[in-house]
């Protein structure tokens, strides 16, 4: 089976959840909200007192520490963690803390944050130790700990960091440093000896037989020599191996997008990946002595400089490839662990090229991290895979390391609203009955894609995320092929609401935006 991202093409599901999934999840999320609200109230109280004392700049600094309040049904805010944390490197955080002791308000601020960090860490441990486990919530809590207490050693260990130069870094970053590499802000991970050439506008030429040293050429000339697919760039990041013939600067930006999305995906879908054998966070919770994570084969990505090259390369394997904007074709069981995801540079595409990237790579990460799949054993329920894929089209990357996901954005959402206004709507109970062929019927595929995206956004974001865990539990069972005729709990049973009422909630959510 292929997973496409076109204006209308592909995937399915239906599932049994563990008993009483929703109640423990709701309690844990309510506690998380209470911890955040209590901290916000204490910080606002401190800021108000500082204003009254004439310390407006100090009040502004305190208010900057208040977490933005999530909007009901709005996008989820995700803050990327740096691979090397400069806030703790060389003890800078400790120095800053000591220098701030002279200001009483600074000490009070630190006490508020440390108290919140402690509460978040305790909640993370309970979420990871509950039955069923809630690793996504635990991940959220641990990230909250580090935003308030960057030197928290156990939160660092659980999130995969190791001590480095009196600070913290990922095992991948430390291994790169040992090889003499540097993480250049423009060129990514390169050997330190390359920096002067790169900053002088030079790039390495394709290697030739017998070559022992790098041949440096003006960037434009080097990019031109790397333009044929067979001599394209080969770039390795922490989790991906990229082959591409786009200009080098575009390739580096592409790799960074992939790595950022990998962090977001593994955090948000931790409970779908879930197993101690597959999810590093779960492994570290189980084994208190484990640091870092086990090495794994990188995911493969092919990125062509234009659509024609993409089509020419893939048409022998997929005759309808010209209709797609990107594709991932999972390997059949027993045929290996990694298969390439394919993309092409498409600045004028009807769907943003970054959205296409995140859509298809979400399929790739799911099928290459969540263990053996059996999705083709389900009866119906195909919509969920494309629903999740299109859900990740909503990712918006900011320049400040903040990503937003789950907003009602993009042409598919617009299409869903237009279809609704025109009276076109597939009742949820009917949508769940479609298998792959029915879902991809030519005269309805655009509607099915648009509605599946909107429904996935609703189930992930709506009602203050009350439906998120049972929906993802359903998705996990669908991936494993457990949604067969007369087996497994239905989606409405998992959510605790009838399909009729769910239709009404969903349509109102989409209407109100």
pTM for this predicted structure:
0.90
Structure tokens of 22? Answer: 């929703």
Amino acid 69: pLDDT = 82
Q: Indicate whether 442 pLDDT > 80.
A: yes
Average pLDDT across the chain, whole number: 88
In a domain, 332, yes or no: no
In tens, the pLDDT along 144-171 reads 999 999 999 999 999 999 999 889 999 9
Under 8 Å between Cβ of 304 and 247: no
- In order of 25, 266, 456, 483, 491, the CA distances from 474 in angstroms are 15, 17, 12, 9, 7
Whether 295 maps to a domain, the answer reads no
Q: Residue 124 belongs to what domain range?
A: 22-51+64-171
Residue at 422 is within a domain: no
Say if residue 202's pLDDT is above 50.
yes
Task: Give the sign of the dihedral formed by CA 406, CA 409, CA 414, CA 420.
Answer: positive
For 35-52, the pLDDT digits (tens) are 999 999 999 999 999 999
**Within a 10 A sphere around the Cβ of 129, how many other Cβ atoms?**
11
Binned at pLDDT 50, 70 and 90, residue 361 comes out as: very high
- pLDDT tens readout for residues 218-227: 999 999 999 9
Longest distance between any two alpha carbons in the chain, whole Å: 74
Q: What is the pLDDT of residues 2-39, one digit of tens each?
A: 555 443 333 323 333 333 445 677 899 999 999 999 99
Coil, strand, or helix at residue 106? helix
pLDDT at res. 134: 93
pLDDT at 14: 33
- CA–CA distance, 419 with 421 (Å, rounded to integer): 5
Asked whether residue 310 carries a pLDDT value surpassing 50, the answer given is yes
Q: What is the DSSP string of 57-96?
A: HHHHHHHTTSPPPPPTT-PEEEEPPPSEETTTGGGHHHHH
pLDDT of residue 2: 54
Q: What is the mean pLDDT of residues 62-90?
A: 83
Whether 306 maps to a domain, the answer reads no
- Rounded Cα distance between 192 and 183, Å, is 9
Residue 192 lies in a domain: no
Check residue 102 and give its pLDDT.
60
Q: Is 115 a domain residue? A: yes
Query: Does residue 147 fall inside a structural domain?
Result: yes
| 251 falls within a domain | no
Q: How many CA atoms lie within 13 A of 120 on its CB side?
A: 27
**Gap between the Cα atoms of 229 and 232, Å rounded:** 5
The domain total for the chain is 1
Q: What is the pLDDT of residues 260-296, one digit of tens each?
A: 999 999 999 999 987 666 899 999 999 999 998 877 8
Task: Write down the pLDDT at residue 137.
Answer: 96
**pLDDT given for residue 85 in this prediction:** 86
**Residue 25 CB partners (closer than 8 Å, separation 6+):** 134, 137, 469, 470
Residue 69: how many CB atoms within 10 A of its CB? Answer: 11
Spell out the alpha helix ranges (H) of 269-348. 270-273, 280-286, 307-314
403 burial level (CB within 10 Å; 0-12, 13-18, 19+)? buried
């Amino acid at each position: 089976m292929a997973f496409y991202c076109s204006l209308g093409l592909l995937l399915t599901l239906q599932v049994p959840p563990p008993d009483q999934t929703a109640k423990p999840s709701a309690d844990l999320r309510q506690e998380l909200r209470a911890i955040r609200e209590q901290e916000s109230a204490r910080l606002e109280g401190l800021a108000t007192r500082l204003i009254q004392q004439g310390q407006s700049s100090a009040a502004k600094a305190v208010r900057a520490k208040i977490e933005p309040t999530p909007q009901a049904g709005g996008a989820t805010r995700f803050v990327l963690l740096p691979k090397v944390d400069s806030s703790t490197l060389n003890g800078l955080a400790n120095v800053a803390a000591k220098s701030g002791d002279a200001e009483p308000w600074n000490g009070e601020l630190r006490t508020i944050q440390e108290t919140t960090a402690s509460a978040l860490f305790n909640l993370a441990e309970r979420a990871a130790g509950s039955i069923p486990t809630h690793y996504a919530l635990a991940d959220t809590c641990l990230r909250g700990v580090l935003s308030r207490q960057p030197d928290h050693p156990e939160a660092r260990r659980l999130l995969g960091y190791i001590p480095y130069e009196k600070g913290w870094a990922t095992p991948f970053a430390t291994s790169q440093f040992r090889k003499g590499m540097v993480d250049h802000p423009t060129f990514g991970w390169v050997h330190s000896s390359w920096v002067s050439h790169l900053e002088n506008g030079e790039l390495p030429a394709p290697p030739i037989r017998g070559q022992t040293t790098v041949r440096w050429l003006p960037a434009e000339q080097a990019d031109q020599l790397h333009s044929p697919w067979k001599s394209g760039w080969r770039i390795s990041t922490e989790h991906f191996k990229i082959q591409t013939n786009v200009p080098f600067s575009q390739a580096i930006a592409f790799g960074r997008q992939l790595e950022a999305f990998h962090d977001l995906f593994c955090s948000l879908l931790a409970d779908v990946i879930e197993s101690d054998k597959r999810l590093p966070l779960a492994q570290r919770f189980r084994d208190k002595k484990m640091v870092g994570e086990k090495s794994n084969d990188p995911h493969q990505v092919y990125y062509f400089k234009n659509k024609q090259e993409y089509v020419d390369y893939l048409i022998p394997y997929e005759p309808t490839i010209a209709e797609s904007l990107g594709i991932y074709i999972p390997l059949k069981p027993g045929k290996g662990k990694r298969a390439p995801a394919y993309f092409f540079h498409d600045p004028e595409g009807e769907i943003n090229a970054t959205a296409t990237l995140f859509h298809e790579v979400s399929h790739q990460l799911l099928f290459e991290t969540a263990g053996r799949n059996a999705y083709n054993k389900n009866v119906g329920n195909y919509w969920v895979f494309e629903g999740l894929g299109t859900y990740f089209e909503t990712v918006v990357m900011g320049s400040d390391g903040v990503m937003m996901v789950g907003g009602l954005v993009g042409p598919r959402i617009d299409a869903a609203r237009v279809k609704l206004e025109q009276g076109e709507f597939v009742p949820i109970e009917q949508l769940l009955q479609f298998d792959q062929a029915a879902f991809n019927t030519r005269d309805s595929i655009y509607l099915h894609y648009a509605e599946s995206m909107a429904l996935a956004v609703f189930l992930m974001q709506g009602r203050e995320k009350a439906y998120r865990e049972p929906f993802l539990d359903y998705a996990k069972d669908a991936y494993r092929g457990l949604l067969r005729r007369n087996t497994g709990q239905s989606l409405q049973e998992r959510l605790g609401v009838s399909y009729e009422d769910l239709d009404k909630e969903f349509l109102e959510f989409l209407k109100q935006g």
